[in-house]
Copies of this chain bind each other. A is one copy, B any other.
Amino acid sequence: MSTDTHDPAPFPESVAVLALGLLGGSVLKAISKRFPKSRRIGWARSSAVREIALDQAIANVVVDRPEDAVAQAEVVVVASPVNTIAELARDSFDANPNAIFTDVGSTKKRIVTEVERHPGLSQRFVAAHPIAGSEKGGIEFADADLFQDRTVVVTPSGRETAGHVEKVEAFWMGLGAQVVRTSPTEHDRLLALTSHLPHLLAALASRQVDAAALAFVGTGWRDTTRVAAGNADLWASIVSENREYVLQALDGAIGDLQRLADRVRGGDDAAVRDWLDEGRDRRLQSDGESRA
């Protein structure tokens, strides 16, 4: 009767982060704060970003090539834009047969499908999505507490070597997050509703306000549209990667908005109130249930 499986795994002695934006930088800062003895290796395409990472001691060492980071690391976090994650992992995993990979991509199905085409990688790649971020991108906004009490969704493919999923879950929990496990497909379906659609609706609300109207916006509009300030390239990639479920969500939202318009047009105030009330109930319910 061994108790090994219940011992908390020690935090990895070395972690490489590929791409040092808000999320990658925050992973390194969180490790620095919580596990200062763990070696932090950073790679970024931009030499200016690598320099910031080194100068500010966000990383212990930075390297010019992804594979040089992978070669030194027990765990590799791929933190590049969602449409380049699978490619970056594929091009670097051969550098170290023991490294376990995870990522931060906002969509999961396409990444996992791509990774599955490389059996040597798919055994060691545990896909993850920290539901944490900001409309402000870049290493300059990196935050050691970004993952504190946030949810990280882990989406195993089923091809991982035994124990690897648990190791990656322990890694994210080590950074302060709570882990939820689900399938890549279910992740993408749910996140289309909880993240991708709200982003599109925030941009929609922003787009309807012309220059003359800007003087009349209040905190309501400001909150509703805040995420619309996020990087448009990144979000276009997310929409592209999760096209099917985003379209389902969009079509559902258009139909629901059309139902509301019909009630407004018909002057059915009670029906308008009921429509609003259902949105209100869901919002209030989230205060009790959400972990994010």
Contact = CB atoms under 8 A, between A and B. Distances in A.
A61 interface: no
Contacts of A253: 204-205, 208, 257
Given A203-B280, A264-B247, A151 B215 contact: yes
Interface in A61-80: none
A57 interface: no
A278 interface: yes
A247 B261 contact: yes
Given A229-B280, A273-B233, A213 B198 contact: no
B203 A197 contact: no
A81 interface: no
A173 interface: no
A26 to B, nearest CB: 14
Contacts of A222: 286, 290, 292
Interface in A215-234: 215-230, 232-233
Chain A contact residues: helix, strand, loop or mixed = helix
A209 interface: yes
A30 interface: no
Q: Which of A225, A254, A278 has the most CB of B within 10 A?
A: A225
A87 interface: no
Interface stretch (A46-54, A112-120, A157-165, A186-194): A186-194
Interface in A252-290: 252-254, 256-258, 260-261, 264-265, 267, 269-270, 272-280, 282-286, 289-290
Interface of A: 131-134, 150-151, 153, 180, 187, 190-191, 193-195, 197-230, 232-233, 235-237, 239-240, 243, 246-247, 249-254, 256-258, 260-261, 264-265, 267, 269-270, 272-280, 282-286, 289-292
Given A133-B218, A150-B218, A204-B260, 7 more contacts: A187-B216, A195-B217, A201-B204, A202-B279, A204-B279, A228-B282, A236-B269
21 contacts: A131-B217, A132-B218, A133-B219, A190-B216, A193-B209, A193-B213, A194-B213, A202-B220, A203-B278, A207-B278, A214-B289, A217-B290, A218-B292, A228-B276, A228-B279, A230-B280, A232-B277, A236-B273, A243-B267, A247-B265, A254-B254
